[in-house]
Structure 1
Amino acid sequence: MKILIVDLTHGGTILASEFSKKQDCKVFAWDIYHTLSEEDKSALEVQGIEMVDESFYESYFNENLSYGDDISGNDTSRDNNSELLVVAPVHCNLPHPPHMTHHQAVGFLLKDLITVPVIEITGVKGKTSTAAMLKEIYRDKNPLILSSLGVEVAGVGCQITLHKDISITPASIITAWKLAQEFYKDKKFDKDNFCNKIPRVGIGIFESSLGGTGLADVGVITNITEDYTIAKGSSSASKAKLQMFESKLVVCDNNSYQEIYSHHSPVNQKTNTFSMGGGKNDNVNVKVHNINYGLHKTVFQVEVTDLVTIDGKLINTSFEVSTFAPAQHHIENTLSAITASLSMGTPPKSVIKGLENFSGLPGRTSLSKRGKIMIIQEINPGINVTAVKKAVNMIKGYEKPALILGGSYGVTCEEIDEKSLSNFLADLNDDIFLILTGDLGCSVRERMGKNYNYHNNIELALNEAEKAGAKNILLIYRSNFSELSRR
């Protein structure tokens, strides 16, 4: 079989390497974005992978005009005499749809290798937070976690990072699984070492951008807030995430399911939904009420109605949760973790215990003290206007609030709607002391047309908020944590 791997920027090199190890596979690789170094090209060629360009792709389709549909529609009507399997990411805008997406390729390569339960997480917002909460819920199962914070293995009272600064392209699941296998093959650990405290991986929790691989027992779509275009405007994030319905069972926020997915999901596919309440809420499986917000702990009641587990059991129950969730969007993320866990058949008492141990994400959503001042950090490379509005509404209720907002460009494919953000900030009253920072803050300040407070350095911004008498500071910064930690 001949295989063409398109796009070597977003995990394609991993896929090319893995396919090259299969018997009777001739692999071609197309660096469509011209980002691969000569060293990396040489490394692929050493494995017998042939580098090609657009002319190779075009000549193939000129010779095979009866090209059929892609396999995501379960239609293999392409020319049976064609020997070339085209594998490309869902966001790649090719003249012809690929036979297989990168997500599907990962599912194909790992389907017989991963023998533990898998939860896969996608969505526009909340993926990393959901993965972190699931890590706490499943610590006694020795989870392997892939998220935008890295690859980790964890156990009760211990965890270790196997890889930092990894992308959440689907091929990174291959990397995460291999790292775990290599970790446990190392025989140099003594009886008191970490390796013996986590004797084996018992569950995989994988964050994935733009869809699912089909490996998941439970696939999670956290939300589709501020849907954005991909593939040069020819598709959207919400359409790409339809791939998650290849999972055995799907969990999805109710609004996204009703507005986008209810008419597209497979007829025999069960979807458990969750919601804060309101909207099309009649048949929601998991929802909350009696919320008592707090900076350190928020307490709320969870109501579960007709939720179906992967074993086909029906759950109707209610229970109280206490966890770190100072604002509405944090509760929404918590609901995705709760619904995923219950869908796996996990007892509510394990969910409650795990969430009690969750205290936020360092470098994402977390609390810190600066003297007597409380700082609520919202650091996220994909922060959007919806999240900003929810966080600001939260800080309004606290004593002498201040907002420091800014960040960088180019940290994700999805940029923030500056016009909408500027309009929102301009409408804030004087009850919130506003300071803008970073490249994003500079641009927003110009749009707002007034002489708003600005510092290009976060520390200077914090100093000014402190001098202004702020007691609670909300720091919203669009950045990767590794970049912010160097400030």
Structure 2
Amino acid sequence: MRILVLDTIHGGADLAVALRDAGHRVDEVDVYRGEIGIPVEEALVRTYDLVTAPVHLDPDHPLLQQHGPAVSHHEIVGLLIAGDAGRPFIEITGARGKTTTAHAIAALMPGPGVLHTSTGTYRYPERELLWKKSITPASLIPAAREAERIGGWLVAEESLGVTGAGDAAVLTSAEDYPIAAGKRRALAAKLGLLARARTVVLPQGVDIPGCIPVGSVVSVEGEACRYSGYGIAGSFQNPLLSLAGYRTALSLAAATACVLGIDPSPLGGFTPIPGRMAVRRDGSLLVVDNANSGTNMATTVEAARYARELAGDAPLTLVIGEEARAVCEGFPATEISRAVAAVRPDATVYVGDGEEAATLEEGFAAAREITPEGAIVLAVKTWR
């Protein structure tokens, strides 16, 4: 087929290579900068059998008006890796909690496998870092091939949906935000793609016929998680269950494990992931690190509550903001202001374009200078 691939920035360039390797004739267009592939004007006058675009591309883009409707990058990747990925294959999407849920599920998987997340792609059981890429659909292709090569499982975090090629899919949160130049909603896009999955595990607050609500398998009270379903029953305790983010992730991981026929009891030993409520000491300072791609107002307030629980009445400095618009859904200025008002820190260091610090590292350094003792909370939206 002759295929037009749109958006080389968000995985389109890698997708074009994979499609050429599969024997197709491919044109690619950099719809934002015009630096890679052919110009928009040239693509407009050519003829294609198929056009593929990310779900977040403006549906009124001239190339979609001319050659659409488009097949999503997720769907094309699903076709490319069908039968050529590790098994079992679990796909994870959602506005937040993806990375923690993926790590928790991977911690339960037996034998060799590949974990593909925004923190990196790892080969298990040795947890060797293979590479660091984005979590666009196209970045899943090499992870799937590596899992197939070693004859292992694949657990994959994906942005804005799933390919549908997995054995199970997990939605981690019901938060919504506008995409595609404000003409589509992120949650609707994810749900549309999840409809292609064989088995779907849903978080609290989402109810879709034919899918598995996490509450039908798992219940959490305090630091205890009980699970029963699919022939597996038991419980585990973990102090992380007192934190909202980990409670959700560990619950979803436990429910998914039961669906797969795996006992989730080892989650009792699951420990924090760097950047996801990880706690450390830095001299006389307590640092709660919650700077990650899913940072938002709710997680910032939760991180500050956790820091005060651990540090008592000690002064608290909040490092908050967004690194160079690195994440699709962003951390809007209005939400940052609301988070600061809710936390009421003793001092605040803002991170972002035009702020006192441009990066998380600069923000932390500034916070250390003004906080001789007490607690520092890192709440910067960034890829880690």
Q: Same fold (TM over 0.5)?
A: yes
Q: Which residue does the alignment assign to 1:331?
A: 247
State the 1:440 CA deviation: 7.2
The offset of 1:111, in angstroms, is: 0.6
Instruction: Tell me the TM-score normalized by structure 1.
Output: 0.70
1:374 aligns to what?
Answer: 286
CA distance in 1, matches of 2:236, 2:268: 11
- Trace 1:167-178 onto structure 2 (pairs within 5 A): 167-178=134-145
Matched, 1:477 2:380: yes
Aligned to 1:412: 327
Does structure 2 retain, via aligned residues, the 8 Å contact 1:118–1:204? yes
TM-aligned CA deviation for residue 84 of structure 1: 1.1
Tell me: higher relative CO, structure 1 or 2? Use CA pairs within 8 A at least 6 residues apart: 2
Asked whether 1:271 is paired with 2:183, we answer no
Residues 457 and 386 (structure 1), Cα distance of their counterparts in 2 relative to 1, 3 Å cut = closer
Q: 1:480 to 1:316 in 2, by over 3 A?
A: closer
* 8 A Cα contact 1:86 1:98, kept in partner: yes
- CA–CA separation in structure 1 for the residues paired with 2:300 and 2:179: 23
Q: Distance in 2 between matches of 1:36 and 1:357?
A: 48
Cα 1:205–1:35, aligned 2, differ >3 Å: closer, same or farther? farther
Report what 1:288 is aligned to: 220
1:107-149 CA distances to partner (integer Å, 9 max, x unpaired)?
Answer: 11111212521000000001111111122111x3222011001
SS of alignment partner, residue 480 of structure 1: coil
Gap change, CA 1:428 and 1:116, over 3 Å in 2: closer
Task: State the distance in 2 between where 1:224 and 1:345 align.
Answer: 26
Matches within 5 A, 1:62-141: 84-95=49-60, 96=65, 97-138=68-109, 140-141=110-111
User: CA 1:443–1:346 in 2, change beyond 3 Å: closer, same or farther?
Assistant: same
Shift of 1:211: 0.5
**CA contact under 8 A between 1:437 and 1:456: conserved in structure 2?**
no
Query: How far apart in 2 are the matches of 1:16 and 1:417?
Result: 33
Matched residues in 1 for 2:280 and 2:122: separation? 24
Deviations 1:421-445 (A, max 9, x none): 323423555xx5333232379489x
Kept in 2: contact 1:90–1:240 (CA 8 A): yes
SS of residue paired to 2:8: coil
Q: Deviations over 1:254-292 (max 9, x none)?
A: 21x23xxx3xxxx6xx311125xxxxxxxx432211x1x
Equivalent position SS for 1:233: coil
The alpha carbon displacement at 1:98 in A equals 3.1
Gaps of 5+ in 2: none
Tell me if structure 2 keeps the 8 A contact 1:326–1:394.
no
CA distance in 2, matches of 1:202, 1:323: 31
* 2:258 equivalent to 1:342: yes
Deviation for aligned residue 1:463: 4.1
Task: Write the deviation string for residues 285-309 of structure 1: whole angstroms up to 9, x where unpaired.
Answer: 32211x1xxxxxxx313244xx4xx
Whether the 8 Å CA contact 1:272–1:343 is kept in 2: the answer is no
Aligned to 1:251: 201
Q: 1:386 to 1:223 in 2, by over 3 A?
A: same
2:265 maps to: 352
| TM-score, reference length from structure 2 | 0.87
- Provide Cα deviations, 1:41-66, integer angstroms capped at 9, x if missing partner: 5xxxxxxxxx3524533665xxxxxx
1:161 paired to 2:129: yes
Give the Cα separation in 2 of the matches to 1:414 and 1:99.
Answer: 22
The question of whether the paired residues in 1 share the 8 Å contact of 2:238 and 2:269 is answered with no
Q: Give the drift of 1:475.
A: 2.5
Conserved 8 A contact 1:104-1:214: yes
Q: CA RMSD in A?
A: 2.7
SS in 1 for 2:9: coil
Are 1:232 and 2:173 counterparts?
no
* Counterpart for residue 158 of structure 2: 208
Q: Give the Å deviation of 1:252.
A: 1.1
Contact 2:236/2:268 (<8 A) preserved: no
Distance 1:465 1:394 in 2: 18
Deviation at 1:340, TM superposition (A): 1.5
Q: For 2:10, what is the secondary structure of its paired residue?
A: coil
**Separation of aligned partners in 1, 2:131 and 2:11:** 15
1:400 and 2:350 matched: no
Structure number with bigger Rg: 1
Residue 8 of structure 2 corresponds to 8
Which residue in the other structure is 1:73 paired with? none
